[in-house]
Amino acid sequence: MISFRTQFCRGVTLLLLLLVEVANSANAPLRMPHAMVVAQEGIAAQVGAEVMKAGGNAIDGAIATAFALAVTHPAAGNIGGGGFLLYRPAQGEPVLYDFRETAPQASRPDMWLVDGKYDAQRHHNSHLAVGVPGTVAGLYQAWREHGKLPWSRLLAPAIRLASQGFIVSDELSSSLRSGLQRMQNYPAAVAQFSNHGKPYEQGARLVQKDLAVTLELIARQGSDGFYKGRIAQLLVEEIQRGGGVLTLQDLANYRPLARTPLRGTYRGYDVLTVPPPSSAVALIEMLNVCEGYDLRDMGFGTTATLHLMTETMRRAYADRAHYLGDPAFNPSMPIQRLLSKDYAEYLRTTINLKAASVSEVGQFEWPPESPQTTHLSIVDEARNAVALTYTLEAAYGSGIVAPGTGFLLNNEMGDFNAQAGLTNEQGLIGTTPNLAAGGKRMLSSMSPTILSKQGQLFMVTGSPGGRTIINTVLQTILNVVDHNMNAQAAVDAGRLHHQWLPDTVVTEAAAFSKDSLTALSTMGHRLSTRESIGAAQVIVVNQRDGMLEGGADKRDPDSTVSGY
């Protein structure tokens, strides 16, 4: 079993560590013959690898990793949030499990207004911001339909980690330090995630007894252990105490959905990703546009490539804002047109290769979307693959822990648009698909994605990063397919982001040459920098020898490749 970050934390196998660090220093991917997990935290990645070594398949590994992340990566790993699990079996049909949160039945488009004025606190940081959690139901359905090992076996490592505790890393220590501010109004959260009110230091042991009890209940009763009975009761009591509208009925009615994945192609690769309520439609749209240019010849990071990517992103994000939302509430979204090669051809005719275009001016404001989500990529021995992205929305979600439950609740309602008039003062109709309504799923950027070629698995990718997710996933694919990078190099390479509005190209600091950026600015682009964008976790199957090659994103130092 190889797991460099976890082994490091546990002080095991110096030689192994050296080998891995050497491999890593030259952007070389970690290579494994049998099975691999790449995730944002090492103990959880190792849990997934151990489950597959014990006879589990990729679904089992993903579920075990996800429950473990709910313990070891509490900023985003969760049982109180939601997400998407894309499963591509080596044989048979792929499936997308949509366990996005839903709006409580009492939700209304104007629920964020106080005396007629929009209240951002209410929208993002209140009991009203909590959507009906989907994670437990989604993982349970995936297990019932495709799991191999007993359900309780998949939860056992997470229960152990919660009840016996684990050692806090440097990264987790600083994350908890800032997370505590979010939790300050919620004593059960502060008690769970601090040492009597003081932030946990690196090296401390974090024990979560209440979470262990909740996980044991889920292990025994399946998703009923979460959506009915004691946990549901405690959760609703806390929500109603805080003025929220989520009810026992909302919890009992929650259903994950098994959807047909969105399909596209890119230079001979088949691409599977997430249909609405994710906005990964934009990913296929961008790949289709890029396909009309010789990116390999244009080169990585050149002005020409950065300009083309920016113009492509600008157009796809405009479409995202105009058209996308929960399909159950928006039956006439033009998805087939947005996905078509013809539409990409049309978009290419609107791109001037010599000058920046301008996003429509207006008062449009995207609602804030947090970069705190987490992604894991998994492949098993049979080459079944899972790409799973899930989230609490903000880091540590709403910051609310219902006393006695031991888990954080999401603030995913913040992903609904604030109010039609506010988000779109120019009267564009496009933002209405994502206004809050009872039972509706809020629009997401989460884009777990799997590529194959001639029926054979090729690449598993995904990232956290809020609205930047789609662009990060795009860039991992372009880096591998066009720029011929291996998995680690593709993850390490510098990133840029444009989302239509604001009309600004955001690049990672020092990601691209000064010359390229100066020329980009001369073409009319407004530039800004950010320290980092996303935290992609990627697996590529080497086409020559069939080995699994992992790229863990060191923008988050706890990201880990584990496997055997």
Question: Shortest approach of ligand GLY to residue 278 CB, angstroms?
Answer: 7
Letter for the amino acid at 45? A
Question: Which helix (DSSP H) or strand (DSSP E) does residue 10 occupy?
Answer: helix 4-10
Instruction: Give the contact letters, 403-432, x = binds to ligand GLY (CB under 6 A), - = no.
Output: ------------x-----------------
Q: Minimal distance in Å, beta carbon 539 to ligand GLY?
A: 21
393 touches ligand GLY (CB under 6 A)? yes
Stretch that binds ligand GLY, among 338-346, 375-383, 423-431, 440-448 (CB under 6 A): 440-448
The reply to whether omega before 502 is within 30° of 0 (cis) is yes
Nearer to ligand GLY, 356 or 443 (CB): 443
DSSP state, 537?
E
Helix (H) or strand (E) holding 140: helix 135-146
Closest approach of Cβ 446 to ligand GLY, in Å?
A: 5
Q: Least distance in Å: CB of 84 to ligand GLY?
A: 9
Select the span of 138-146, 205-213, 283-291, 442-450 touching ligand GLY (CB under 6 A): 442-450
CA-CA-CA-CA torsion for 525, 529, 532, 536, nearest 10 degrees? 0
From the list 37-45, 143-151, 380-388, 438-446, the region that binds ligand GLY by CB under 6 A is 438-446
Q: Is 421:439 a contact under the CB 8 Å cutoff?
A: no
- Output the DSSP codes for 172-228: HHHHHHHHHHHHTT-HHHHHHHSBTTBPPPTT-EE--HHHHHHHHHHHHHTTHHHHS
Q: Tokens representing 48?
A: 């997934």
Asked whether position 65 contacts ligand GLY by CB under 6 A, the answer is no
The answer to whether the CB of 259 falls within 8 A of the CB of 95 is yes
Q: Does 101 bind ligand GLY (CB under 6 A)?
A: no
Using Cβ positions, the residue closest to ligand GLY within the complex turns out to be 444
Write out the two tokens for 481: 């397919």
What is the pattern of x (binds ligand GLY, CB under 6 A) and - over residues 368-387?
-x---x--------------
Distance CA 105, CA 126 (A): 17
Map tokens 């993002």 to a residue: 124
Cβ neighbours, 10 Å, residue 39: 34
Query: What residues contact residue 286 under an 8 Å CB cut-off, 6+ apart?
Result: 312, 313, 316, 470, 471, 474
Instruction: Find the shortest distance in angstroms from Cβ 559 to ligand GLY.
Output: 18
From CA 204, how far away is CA 415, in angstroms rounded? 34
Contact 405, 231 (CB under 8 A): yes
Shortest spacing between CB 469 and ligand GLY, in angstroms: 6
**Cα(375)–Cα(388) distance, rounded to whole angstroms?**
6
Nearest to 5 by CA among 32, 28, 37, 33: 37
Please, which residue, 291 or 369, has the CB nearer to ligand GLY? 369
Closest distance between ligand GLY and the C-beta of residue 129, in Å?
Answer: 12
Q: How far is the CB of 82 from ligand GLY (least distance, A)?
A: 8
Phi, psi (degrees; rounded to nearest 5) at 31: -115, 135
Gap between the Cα atoms of 140 and 147, Å rounded: 9
Instruction: Please count the residues of this chain forming the interface with ligand GLY, following the rule CB under 6 A.
Output: 10
466 forms part of the interface with ligand GLY (CB under 6 A): yes
Helix %, strand %, coil % of the chain (to 5): 40, 20, 40
Interface residues for ligand GLY in 277-336 (CB under 6 A)? Answer: none
Asked if residue 69 lies in contact with residue 376, where contact means CB atoms within 8 angstroms, the answer is yes
Selected catalytic residue, list 65, 310, 373, 389: 373
Question: Residue 306 or residue 501: which is nearer to ligand GLY going by CB?
Answer: 501
Q: Are strands 505-508 and 527-530 parallel, antiparallel or unpaired?
A: parallel
Nearest residue to 260 (alpha-carbon basis) of 271, 275, 270 = 275
Closer CB to ligand GLY, 270 or 285, in the complex: 285
**Residue number with CB closer to ligand GLY (101 or 492):** 101
Tell me whether residue 324 or residue 378 sits nearer to ligand GLY (CB atom). 324
Which C-beta is closer to ligand GLY: that of 60 or that of 415?
415
Q: Which stretch binds ligand GLY (CB under 6 A): 23-31, 184-192, 421-429, 439-447?
A: 439-447
Q: Which of 7, 424, 445, 449 binds ligand GLY (CB under 6 A)?
A: 445
Chain mean position to CA 197: 30
Residue 476 among the catalytic residues:
no
Distance between CA atoms of 66 and 24, rounded to whole angstroms?
A: 25
Give the three-class secondary structure for 334.
coil
Toward ligand GLY, which CB reaches closer, 391 or 461?
391
| Closest to ligand GLY by CB, 65 or 391 | 391
Q: Is residue 446 at the binding interface for ligand GLY, with CB under 6 A as the rule? A: yes
The secondary structure of residue 506, as a DSSP letter, is: E
Contact pattern from residue 467 through residue 506 relative to ligand GLY, giving x for each residue in contact according to CB under 6 A and a dash for the rest: --x-------------------------------------
Cα atoms in the Cβ-side hemisphere of radius 13 Å centred on 362: 16
Nearer to ligand GLY, 391 or 472 (CB): 391
Does residue 171 bind ligand GLY (CB under 6 A)?
A: no
Binding ligand GLY (rule: CB under 6 A), the pick from 391, 479, 488, 516 is: 391
Of these, 7, 65, 384, 444, which contacts ligand GLY (CB under 6 A)? 444
Closest approach of ligand GLY to the CB of residue 260, in Å: 20
Please report how close the Cβ of residue 282 comes to ligand GLY at its closest, in angstroms.
12
User: Which residues form the catalytic set?
Assistant: 373
Residues found near ligand GLY in the complex (CB under 6 A):
369, 373, 391, 393, 415, 444-446, 466, 469
